[in-house]
């Protein structure tokens, strides 16, 4: 049986401290060189506790990723299709450029093992984006499909960050939205 954990209790504080340590370390280290020992030292939580609670470094990182994804920014609702798309594109560009960028890539690769939580997040996000496009259609605008949005705007943002380690800025994100909106209907 799971022990009862009071929210905000010791268990939650440990989790917060450990997550913060992982995120701090990721700002300084490559994934490959991160270790449980470093997380223990930085968080002040015993290695034995980390192993007991998370089992492996991989499982701990998954937990951090899932937590961050669940706190993701809401899908924009600015009143216009272009406004929504630009706000969303700029936000994704900032996300992948930030210190947490590698988390998303890691989550994606972890995704080959199909984590229920990550899958749910991806589906949930797709549903929200679909809603954003449907609001535009309801206003009489002609939105692209969700597939077009992902391929024309989101994929290049990740591609630049992943393959060239050189994420793009807000201006380029807006250029991608221009391209999306100029697709033949």
Residue ranges binding a second copy (CB under 8 A): 30-32, 58, 102, 105, 108-114, 122, 150-152, 154-156, 158-159, 162-165, 176, 179, 182-184
Nearer to a second copy, 109 or 142 (CB): 109
Q: How many CB atoms lie within 10 A of CB 176?
A: 22
Nearer to a second copy, 29 or 41 (CB): 29
CB of 51 to a second copy, least distance (A): 17
State how far the Cα of 101 lies from the Cα of 149, in Å rounded to an integer: 20
Nearer to a second copy, 62 or 84 (CB): 62
CB of 29 to a second copy, least distance (A): 11
Which helix (H) or strand (E) covers residue 16, if one does?
A: helix 10-26
State how far the Cα of 118 lies from the Cα of 108, in Å rounded to an integer: 8
CB of 160 to a second copy, least distance (A): 8
Nearer to a second copy, 11 or 151 (CB): 151
CB of 79 to a second copy, least distance (A): 27
Nearer to a second copy, 82 or 172 (CB): 172
Give phi and psi for 134, each to the nearest 5.
-70, -35
| CA dihedral of 175, 75, 146, 142, whole degrees rounded to 10 | -70
CB of 15 to a second copy, least distance (A): 22
DSSP SS3 for 57: helix
Please tell me what DSSP assigns to residue 115: -
């Amino acid at each position: 049986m799971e022990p009862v954990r009071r929210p905000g209790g010791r268990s939650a504080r440990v989790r917060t401290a450990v997550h913060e340590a992982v995120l701090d370390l990721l700002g300084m280290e490559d994934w490959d060189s991160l270790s449980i020992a470093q997380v223990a030292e930085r968080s002040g939580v015993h290695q034995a506790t980390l192993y007991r609670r998370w089992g492996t470094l991989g499982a701990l990182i998954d937990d951090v990723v899932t937590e961050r994804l669940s706190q993701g920014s809401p899908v924009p609702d600015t009143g216009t299709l272009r406004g929504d798309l630009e706000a969303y594109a700029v936000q994704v560009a900032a996300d992948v450029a930030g210190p947490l960028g590698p988390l998303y890539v890691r989550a994606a690769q972890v995704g080959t093992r199909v984590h229920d939580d990550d899958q749910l997040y991806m589906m949930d996000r797709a549903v929200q984006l679909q809603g954003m496009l449907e609001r535009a259609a309801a206003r009489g605008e002609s939105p692209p499909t969700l597939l077009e949005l992902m391929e024309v705007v989101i994929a290049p943002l990740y591609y630049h960050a992943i393959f060239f380690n050189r994420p793009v800025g807000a201006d380029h994100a807006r250029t991608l939205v221009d391209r999306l909106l100029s697709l033949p209907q």
